[in-house]
Structure formats: structure tokens, C-alpha cells
Amino acid sequence: MRKVFAALILAVLIPASGLKAQEVCPAPSNYVCLSYGEGSMVQFSFFLGASLAEAFTAGHADIKEVRTSGSFTIGYARAVKKWLWVGGEFCYENCMIVSSGDRNGGSSGGANAMNLMGACRMSWFDRQHFAMYSKLCAGAILVAGGDSKASPGFAFQVSPVCLEAGGERFRGFMECGWGVQSLLAAGVRYRF
């Protein structure tokens, strides 16, 4: 009797587990996105550098203003599971420091920061028109100044709380996190 009961359970469970393995991703399984963010690590380092330069040069460096473009990001991802998307993102940001108190009568210096990162997005609440997810990115950053050589480095973005809302194809999103993209970013996403 036990053998018949075990065979019956296996006959039910084995095909059911095979169905789970064949689970397909949602209909639009790719997306491209475009976003703008403020409060990146690049902005923070420029503001900190300007503040320290003014504090430790005893008035020789008078920082007039620090200008940043904010971070512009374009990305692509593909769903590998219903809850997991992997892809890549490219981010660009320009920063400039304008000083007026040096001996030459004023100067300015700036840098362009470009980074390319692999991205992993994990959805933890997903409905038809609204989703919440977390995102983790890691890659390389290249900072190029006016006269100096470009210097590469490590880039990352950790966004634990992200919101997405909209239709099946077009969606708007907001991401809150820390890294080279921003503290707060907003953008649009097209799924296909």
C-alpha cells in the first residue's frame, strides 16, 4: 500500500515541478530606461573638495560656486526570472568648481565622470501597474579633467527602495539609494 501511495505522490509531484521549471518571464522581458538624478558620489566629492580647499588654504582659495549637471543614466535589462532582471547602465555627469580668490584673478576647473556598470534588479512587490524593487550596480568609472589624464576607478550604486508605476510598456520610476548615479533619481522605462 505504501508503494502505491508513494508512486501516486511522485506521479503528481514530478510533472508539477517540471511546470515550475518551465515558468516564463512576463510578456515584455526587456527594457530600456532613461533617468536623471541628483546627489551622486561625484557631486558629493566635488562639494567636499571645494569646502576643504577653502578651509585649509587660509583664504587663498575662494570657491565662488560648484556646478554640476546631475547624473544622466541610460540602461538596458532583460528578465531572467519573473523577479530578477540583469543588464547594464551607462551614466554621465559633469562637475565644475569656479574660484575667485587665487592670485591669477580667478579660475575654474572641472571633470567629466562616465561610468559603465552591470546592473541587477530584484522585484519584491509586483502588480500589473505598480512595482517595488531593489537595484545593485557595480562597474568602472572614468573621471577626466581638463589637463589631467583620465583616471579609472570602481563605481557602484545601491538602491534599496525603488518604485515603478505605469502601463505594460511605458512606466515611470523613482529610485532612492547611494552611489555614482544619485541619492534620488527619476526616469522613464520602455518595456519590450
Half-sphere exposure of 73 (CA within 13 A, CB side): 32
Q: Which of 4-18, 52-66, 158-172 reaches the highest mean pLDDT?
A: 158-172
- pLDDT confidence of 78, banded at 50, 70, 90? very high
The mean predicted confidence, pLDDT, of the chain is 84
Q: Is the pLDDT of residue 28 over 70?
A: yes
**How much is the pTM?**
0.77
Q: Is the pLDDT of residue 12 over 60?
A: no
Q: Is the pLDDT of residue 133 over 70?
A: yes
Task: Show the beta-strand stretches assigned E in the chain.
Answer: 30-38, 63-68, 71-79, 84-99, 107-126, 130-145, 151-166, 170-179, 184-191
3-state secondary structure of 5: helix
* Backbone phi and psi for residue 81, each to the nearest 5 degrees, phi listed first: -140, 170
pLDDT number for residue 8: 46
Give the integer Cα–Cα distance in Å for 47 and 35. 22
- pLDDT confidence of 141, banded at 50, 70, 90? very high
- pLDDT confidence of 5, banded at 50, 70, 90? low
User: Which comes out higher in pLDDT, residue 187 or 46?
Assistant: 187
What cell numbers appear for 174 in the block?
Answer: 523613482
User: Which comes out higher in pLDDT, residue 150 or 72?
Assistant: 72
Domains of the chain: 25-40+71-93+111-191 (2.40.160.20)
Distance of CA 142 to the CA centre of its chain: 16
Q: Is the pLDDT of residue 185 over 60?
A: yes
- pLDDT confidence of 157, banded at 50, 70, 90? very high
Arithmetic mean of pLDDT, 13-21: 46
Q: Is residue 59 exposed (0-12), middle (13-18) or buried (19+ Cβ within 10 Å)?
A: exposed
Q: Cα angle vertex 41, ends 172, 175, to 5°?
A: 20
